[in-house]
Structure 1
């Protein structure tokens, strides 16, 4: 039996704190603090901190090192461990909780639901919220952490990393946030893992971008050692770990239509922040929508813009943003520098780039509206046809910038495109100016798109035309930029070739006015040059003159069209270019047709046909048949028109010319309609409408709607007729086709008369007459019977003075005002004046 003294000794040891027990065992072992530290592999400061109670609750590994160095046997080893655990339970610092939100989360319902589901249901253990600076990653991260908090029985730990400047501070920051004050930094990750253990908790690492490599290493270690741990990270750059799920935080929803303004998240955020500044935006939502569209829904940009309302109106703000994003500054004084301005937000990301990434980032700012990998490789390498090595380098650097959220990626119809947000692009363009490479990049960019335009031109009359039309449409902003460069630098060859290569695209997709402007400016530039400098540009000039004449014709500028087409005809003949000559003759035939000179039109189309036949050009012969059929039905010869247009239709199906097929179907539908075969006409015209819509062929859409509207008017279904004719009129008006607009106005007048709205019918007839007078064309022969009947009925229904007043009002109103839509019941002609 032990003595009373020995029992008291054991009781004293059992009741002592961890520090006291450690000191007693060290002294009994005859060791100094230095001696114990050396045997245990710890620092002297660590031993002193434990004995004095400055550091309590050492980790299990540290306990083993101490017990082994002291050569403790059970029960002394167990008592020392129990003392350490007791102190850990009573003195452990609580985990750092997510901060309380300072404002309401606007929008983000979809994003919050998706991310909370992924974490709350343990679909993934590592989720990274990524996106460019200012998109709202931290705010969404905070909302997610709060939303899923109850799903983690051991809690949520918030680790803010934005203020760190040294990657070495990452692990201590995590340790401090989970309530761990470690002795040794050499084993800090292991001690964090031991602290977490099998706890079911969520570790939130906010703002990882500038320390992403270290964060990735720590996350990999913790996920491996802590089976119930989940991690939520926010970063402009991905962690690139196995098992990482990525959620790209989108910008706030924008109002794409007037009906979406009230429900737009971006508008709601701006309005809320404006109100907080004492500015009432009610009644100015159209201007708010303009602002948020320009800012592309970026939350930080919207907040910074709203902050400017203390010294500006919304209209002034919107106008200023059209010029520059430089006013997006003045954020909260308590915010970090990168959140006080958009420049600061982007600068923070830019500072993390390698020199090669910075160079590419600046060069890519030359693109407008996005780009493809091949385009990037061309601009980056300066090679017109970049090889595998250049493409691989472009892909690598593009991927790095995408991972860092400085560019975005979209995938559609099997094609990947990249783009920069406008505010980021402006920053990158400034960097390009700073290094003096703007002109070089702009030239490479322009030459790439010149090559693309010329390549596409050869595909626009082939079966694959729809794909190429869509491709050119997607690159329209870049094509505009390339054209602007060619004109700005007086690069006459490039300007002529680019404008000439794009005129058919402009014709098919309804860019009449813009294409005309390009061609006229390029031709004017060429004409201003000395002859010796343009001697080799005859072919390019002939094509440009043909394009300028064709687009002028489509806008009913007949005199200008004739001048350009006659020049092109002479040039093609001098070049011995029969194909160019035949196409020019075809366009001159179109001018004669719309002016009502049907005999001249037939002669020109026959001459065109003969040339195409001599060349063996089946597509050209089909077009000649189609135009001859068009002339025939306009002059009232429906049988000849049908025969010609059927030949054209069959040929177009064989050669795969979508535009030609649409036109032949429109003509056949019109012929059936004027022949009284309304069911057949409707079937054919619905086919032409669907085809034209699929191709993005706006003229075909407008004509199809026009003829379908006439069918419904003949059936007496006037409400449907109004709908179709209104759509047709708006489309023709937007295209600039005044010849057809006049005919549609006359059809609308016929409908108005059928609905006993004679005064409005007189107004429409006057508007049509005004248009015809301006462009100096008659009513087509085939339409004269309907026109005459409508006018007679209107004049019979109205007093002479009333008719003349309504007629004169219609003549005085611009076409754009008339084409705004059929007026509601009860409104007379004066409602549109």
Structure 2
């Protein structure tokens, strides 16, 4: 029978803690802590921590190593394991909780819903919130952790990585946040995994981009070892861990045109932060909308801008931001350097780039409105046609900058397109200027877009017209930048070639004034260089055409006649025929139908000599146009039908739209309103698809006349108002006058006689200024309208309304004629 002492010894072993038991066995084996550590293959600090109870008991693998080193038998091993289990049941370590947000999160309900589903429902075990500095990743992570934290039974652990500078400190920082006292640096990540075990924890790693490799290594090990662990990371760069899901945090939604500005989250954030500083912008919401649009909804930029309301009005702030983002500083004094200024936020990302990445990042700032891979490779290499190797190298660098949230990518139309936020682009442009290579890069940029413009020019007639128009429209900001560079540096060859290559695009897409301005400035740079004579002839043709479209007939005639002389000198038959066609258009609008017909016939003969079917079709269409303006509807129909059939064959969308407009107009003047509507609806749809604004404006004009002839005056007003707005925006005063006269007819039919007189006066004033008479075909309707007005109004009232119309600028005519008393409601002016 055992003694009492023996029973007490057994009880002592049964209740002894793991650390005490381990120490007893070590001493009985005659080993020091260093000796045991060496035999077991663990650190001395780990042995010391286990014996002193500063660490949780080890996992089974470590227990086996200790048992083998101590040469323990089965009973002693069982006792050691039991002690380890008892210690493992002790209270869990304390996790570092997320900080309490200083401000309410504004406008992120969609983001919270989407990320909450991914993490809270364990759709993914690692979610990285990515995006550029200042987009609000940390704030979203805080709100997300607060919203779904209850789904993690063992808690949420917040690990702030921004303060650490040494990547090797990532694992110790994670260990400390999880409540582990890190002692064994070699196995620290494994020890964290042992600590977490099967616990259901959400681990949040905030600001990983500067230590991305070490953060990724920690995440990889923990995800493999801890089956119930979920990780939420915020990083400007992806972690690239197997199983990682990425959520790109977007800027805040901007105010849409049809909504009240204060419904926008971006506006609400500005108002909230400005109000918190005692500067509530209650009466300046439209200016606030202007500010947040300029800042593209970036939360940090908005907060920094709101901070400036202590010294600037919102309107002053908006004006300052139009030229520079340099005033965006002055963040909270408790914030880190990255959050105290916009430059600091972007500079943090820039400093993490490699030298090749920095070089490309700076050079990409030359693009305005985005770029394609081919464009980037061309600017980087200084060639207009970069090869596969150059494209591959550029793609690799762009991919890295996309992954680091400095570049955005879109995939519309099956083509990858890249751009930068405006605030990031300004920082990149400063780096480019500092490098001393800004002019070289701008020249490369201009050279590439000159090549693109000249390639597009050859495709703006024919089956691919719409696609090339869209492509040039998508690159319009870059084309403007290239044009600006060539004019600023007085690079005459580049300027005249680029402006000349773009005039047809400017015509078709309605950039009359801008394209004309480019051509006139480029022509002023050319001083008789023989090698530029062909380019000058083309530029003068374009300048004349765009001046004609804006009813500057004298300027147009001078430019076109100069172009004609040069084409004849160059023995360029196609150019000569095209200029004659444009001169015929000027004569047509001035009412000189005989000269117009002669010019179009000469143009036809020249195109026929070249076998140019498209040119011949255009000559037929122009002759048909002159015929219906003159009132010869039968001849006009014959000519325009031939043109339509040819345009369908050659695939000329612009030509087809015009022939349909002419045929629809001929039908409506012939009383065939159903046929007219069908033809005009077809031309309208085609013009809208091409983005051909003149075609849209003319189609709406003639459809309005069709509806007026049917007696549907309300529908007519709607169509004619749209047409007038288009013609007015284009600068086409000749057609604007005709639309005003048609609106006068509708007004008279709706018993708005004074207003009808006002509109006729406005049209008459326009015709006098531009020197263009009423087309013959329109004279009968206009005369009938005037007679009806004069029969209704007394002479004095008629003269007053007429004079008021003549004195009113075209831009103000739509505001209506108030008459001698009070102005009518604009919505019912007709």
**Contact 1:759 1:829 (8 Å CA) reproduced:** no
In the TM superposition, residue 88 of structure 1 has moved relative to its aligned partner by: 4.4
- Secondary structure (helix, strand or coil) at the match of 1:413 reads helix
Matched, 1:563 2:558: yes
1:449-471 CA distance string (max 9 Å, x none): 00000000000001001000000
Residue 748 (structure 1) aligns with:
743
**Contact 1:59 1:191 (8 Å CA) reproduced:** no
**Residues 804-815 of structure 1: matches in 2 within 5 Å?**
804-815=799-810
Residue 731 (structure 2) aligns with:
736
Residue 646 (structure 1) aligns with:
641
In the TM superposition, residue 157 of structure 1 has moved relative to its aligned partner by: 2.1
Return the alpha-carbon distance in structure 1 between the equivalents of residues 108 and 822 of structure 2: 45
Residue 289 (structure 1) aligns with:
289
Matched, 1:437 2:437: yes
Matched, 1:238 2:233: no
In the TM superposition, residue 198 of structure 1 has moved relative to its aligned partner by: 2.5
Residue 650 (structure 2) aligns with:
655
Residue 122 (structure 2) aligns with:
122
**Contact 1:157 1:202 (8 Å CA) reproduced:** yes
In the TM superposition, residue 61 of structure 1 has moved relative to its aligned partner by: 4.4
Greater CA deviation, 149-158 or 216-225?
Answer: 149-158
Matched, 1:630 2:625: yes
Matched, 1:28 2:28: yes
- Cα gap change, 1:722/1:687 in structure 2, threshold over 3 Å: closer, same or farther? same
In the TM superposition, residue 49 of structure 1 has moved relative to its aligned partner by: 3.6
In the TM superposition, residue 784 of structure 1 has moved relative to its aligned partner by: 0.6
Greater CA deviation, 149-158 or 607-616?
Answer: 149-158
Return the alpha-carbon distance in structure 2 between the equivalents of residues 727 and 100 of structure 1: 54
In the TM superposition, residue 58 of structure 1 has moved relative to its aligned partner by: 4.5
Residue 599 (structure 1) aligns with:
594
**Residues 545-560 of structure 1: matches in 2 within 5 Å?**
545-560=540-555
In the TM superposition, residue 325 of structure 1 has moved relative to its aligned partner by: 0.5
Greater CA deviation, 104-113 or 197-206?
Answer: 197-206
- Cα gap change, 1:505/1:552 in structure 2, threshold over 3 Å: closer, same or farther? same
- Secondary structure (helix, strand or coil) at the match of 1:640 reads helix
- Secondary structure (helix, strand or coil) at the match of 1:262 reads helix
**Residues 429-578 of structure 1: matches in 2 within 5 Å?**
429-526=429-526, 529=527, 531=528, 534-578=529-573
In the TM superposition, residue 416 of structure 1 has moved relative to its aligned partner by: 1.0
1:581-625 CA distance string (max 9 Å, x none): 011001100001111111111111111111001110000000000
Alignment size in residue pairs:
826
Return the alpha-carbon distance in structure 2 between the equivalents of residues 34 and 580 of structure 1: 95
**Residues 2-13 of structure 1: matches in 2 within 5 Å?**
2-13=2-13
**Contact 1:56 1:91 (8 Å CA) reproduced:** no
**Contact 2:705 2:716 (8 Å CA) reproduced:** yes
- TM-score normalized with structure 1 length: 0.96
Return the alpha-carbon distance in structure 1 between the equivalents of residues 305 and 775 of structure 2: 55
**Contact 1:158 1:205 (8 Å CA) reproduced:** yes
Return the alpha-carbon distance in structure 2 between the equivalents of residues 462 and 606 of structure 1: 23
**Correspondent of 2:773 among 761, 773, 778:** 778
1:355-414 CA distance string (max 9 Å, x none): 010011111110000000000000111122111110110111111111111010011111
**Contact 1:37 1:44 (8 Å CA) reproduced:** yes
Return the alpha-carbon distance in structure 1 between the equivalents of residues 530 and 437 of structure 2: 32
Residue 227 (structure 1) aligns with:
227
Return the alpha-carbon distance in structure 2 between the equivalents of residues 486 and 148 of structure 1: 57
In the TM superposition, residue 829 of structure 1 has moved relative to its aligned partner by: 7.2
- Secondary structure (helix, strand or coil) at the match of 2:205 reads strand
- Secondary structure (helix, strand or coil) at the match of 1:326 reads coil
In the TM superposition, residue 185 of structure 1 has moved relative to its aligned partner by: 1.6
Residue 357 (structure 2) aligns with:
357
Residue 248 (structure 1) aligns with:
248
Return the alpha-carbon distance in structure 2 between the equivalents of residues 398 and 548 of structure 1: 39
**Correspondent of 1:695 among 679, 690, 699:** 690
**Residues 12-91 of structure 1: matches in 2 within 5 Å?**
12-55=12-55, 57-91=57-91
In the TM superposition, residue 89 of structure 1 has moved relative to its aligned partner by: 3.9
- Cα gap change, 1:284/1:160 in structure 2, threshold over 3 Å: closer, same or farther? same
Return the alpha-carbon distance in structure 1 between the equivalents of residues 618 and 814 of structure 2: 31
Residue 415 (structure 1) aligns with:
415
Return the alpha-carbon distance in structure 2 between the equivalents of residues 92 and 149 of structure 1: 17
- Secondary structure (helix, strand or coil) at the match of 1:234 reads strand
Greater CA deviation, 815-824 or 26-35?
Answer: 815-824
- Secondary structure (helix, strand or coil) at the match of 2:139 reads helix
Return the alpha-carbon distance in structure 2 between the equivalents of residues 93 and 36 of structure 1: 27
- Secondary structure (helix, strand or coil) at the match of 1:495 reads helix
- Cα gap change, 1:121/1:42 in structure 2, threshold over 3 Å: closer, same or farther? closer
In the TM superposition, residue 242 of structure 1 has moved relative to its aligned partner by: 2.7
**Contact 2:503 2:542 (8 Å CA) reproduced:** yes
Residue 198 (structure 2) aligns with:
198
Greater CA deviation, 700-709 or 81-90?
Answer: 81-90
- Cα gap change, 1:517/1:495 in structure 2, threshold over 3 Å: closer, same or farther? same
**Correspondent of 1:582 among 577, 580, 586:** 577
Matched, 1:764 2:767: no
Return the alpha-carbon distance in structure 1 between the equivalents of residues 539 and 368 of structure 2: 25
Matched, 1:664 2:659: yes
**Residues 614-625 of structure 1: matches in 2 within 5 Å?**
614-625=609-620
Matched, 1:134 2:146: no
**Contact 1:368 1:477 (8 Å CA) reproduced:** yes
Q: Which runs of 5+ in 1 are unaligned?
A: none
Return the alpha-carbon distance in structure 1 between the equivalents of residues 260 and 550 of structure 2: 34
Residue 183 (structure 1) aligns with:
183
- TM-score normalized with structure 2 length: 0.97
Residue 208 (structure 2) aligns with:
208
Return the alpha-carbon distance in structure 2 between the equivalents of residues 128 and 260 of structure 1: 34
- Cα gap change, 1:507/1:606 in structure 2, threshold over 3 Å: closer, same or farther? same
Return the alpha-carbon distance in structure 1 between the equivalents of residues 54 and 626 of structure 2: 101
**Contact 1:722 1:822 (8 Å CA) reproduced:** no
In the TM superposition, residue 55 of structure 1 has moved relative to its aligned partner by: 4.1
- Cα gap change, 1:302/1:82 in structure 2, threshold over 3 Å: closer, same or farther? same
**Contact 2:55 2:180 (8 Å CA) reproduced:** no
**Contact 2:758 2:817 (8 Å CA) reproduced:** no
Return the alpha-carbon distance in structure 1 between the equivalents of residues 281 and 747 of structure 2: 41
**Contact 2:621 2:640 (8 Å CA) reproduced:** yes
**Residues 779-818 of structure 1: matches in 2 within 5 Å?**
779-818=774-813
**Contact 1:270 1:288 (8 Å CA) reproduced:** yes
- Secondary structure (helix, strand or coil) at the match of 1:369 reads coil
Return the alpha-carbon distance in structure 2 between the equivalents of residues 496 and 574 of structure 1: 19
**Contact 2:516 2:543 (8 Å CA) reproduced:** yes
**Contact 1:129 1:248 (8 Å CA) reproduced:** yes
**Contact 1:630 1:667 (8 Å CA) reproduced:** yes
In the TM superposition, residue 199 of structure 1 has moved relative to its aligned partner by: 2.6
- Secondary structure (helix, strand or coil) at the match of 1:148 reads helix
1:411-430 CA distance string (max 9 Å, x none): 11111110011110110011
Residue 704 (structure 2) aligns with:
709
**Contact 2:753 2:789 (8 Å CA) reproduced:** yes
Residue 378 (structure 1) aligns with:
378
- Secondary structure (helix, strand or coil) at the match of 2:275 reads helix
